[in-house]
């Protein structure tokens, strides 16, 4: 797959993501294995993750905020990369532009943005598995903040993802008109 330019995220960097990145940069395979084990459980149910996640959620309120930390840690350990840019819409658009006749890409993306916060971990696991298989990177900091505000903002992250994903059609249609 050719490398696609994806615009840089405007979000600030998360100290939690920086913490996870250090495990990858230091090639700490043991910790990453403990964190990956969380993929087999509901967020917060994998005790092997506790020593690495609990210190980050001690002053955090609410189950959703706790779940995000467990989700992000296990997903990052599954596909650790540090140079990704853009949101999930940008990442799925990169795949779609390489495989324009593959309707399953759009179907998977719709399933992801339609996800209720109670189901999103399953959809994210599948989405990240797809992105990893195509070597498409995204901004982990952006994903962290997007999940924090999944169902709370006036302009939810899934709408930004949708705008990023479907904007490719506008540019393709303009090219076809010429």
Looking at the structure, do residues 70 and 23 belong to the same domain, yes or no? yes
Tell whether the model's pLDDT for residue 5 goes beyond 60.
Answer: no
pLDDT exceeding 90 applies to what percent of the chain?
75
Residue 3 has pLDDT above 80, yes or no: no
Residue 54 has pLDDT above 80, yes or no: yes
- What is the structure's pLDDT at 49? 98
Confidence of residue 12 (pLDDT cuts 50, 70, 90): confident
Tell me whether residue 4 is in a domain.
no
| Domain shared by 89 and 71, yes or no | no
Of 66, 82, 98, the domain-final residue = 82
Determine how many CB atoms are found less than 10 A away from the CB of residue 169: 11
| pLDDT surpasses 80 at 152 | no
> In this predicted structure, what is the pLDDT of residue 176?
56
What CATH code is carried by the domain that includes residue 177? 1.10.520.40
What span, in angstroms and rounded, lies between the C-alpha atoms of 114 and 129? Answer: 18
Under DSSP, the state recorded for 11 is S
Q: What is the pLDDT of residue 177?
A: 56
Query: Do 168 and 88 belong together in one domain?
Result: yes
What would the two tokens of residue 92 be?
A: 């799925």
Whether 98 and 134 have beta carbons less than 8 Å apart is answered as yes
Instruction: Dump pLDDT digits (tens) for 78-130.
Output: 999 998 999 999 999 999 999 999 999 999 999 999 998 889 999 999 999 99
Indicate whether 65 and 23 sit together in one domain. yes
Stated pTM of the model: 0.87
142 assigned to some structural domain: no
Q: Is residue 77 part of a domain?
A: yes
The helix/strand/coil state of 124 is helix
In this prediction, residue 150 carries a pLDDT of 86
Residue 112, domain extent = 83-135+150-178
CB contact at 8 A, 128 and 88: no
Q: Which residue has the tokens 């980050």?
A: 56
């Amino acid at each position: 797959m050719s490398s696609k330019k994806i615009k840089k995220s405007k979000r600030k960097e998360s100290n939690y993501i920086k913490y996870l990145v250090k495990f990858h940069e230091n090639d700490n395979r043991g910790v990453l294995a403990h964190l990956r084990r969380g993929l087999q459980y509901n967020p917060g149910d994998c005790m092997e993750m506790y020593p690495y996640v609990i210190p980050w959620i001690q002053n955090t309120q609410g189950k959703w905020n706790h779940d995000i930390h467990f989700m992000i840690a296990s997903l990052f350990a599954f596909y650790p990369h540090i140079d990704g840019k853009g949101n999930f819409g940008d990442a799925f658009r990169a795949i779609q532009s390489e495989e324009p006749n593959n309707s399953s890409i759009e179907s998977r993306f719709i399933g992801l943005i339609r996800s209720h916060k109670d189901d999103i971990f399953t959809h994210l696991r599948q989405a990240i598995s797809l992105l990893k298989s195509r070597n498409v990177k995204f901004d982990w900091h952006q994903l962290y903040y997007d999940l924090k505000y999944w169902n709370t903002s006036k302009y939810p992250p899934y709408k930004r993802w949708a705008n990023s994903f479907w904007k490719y059609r506008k540019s393709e249609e303009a090219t076809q008109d010429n």
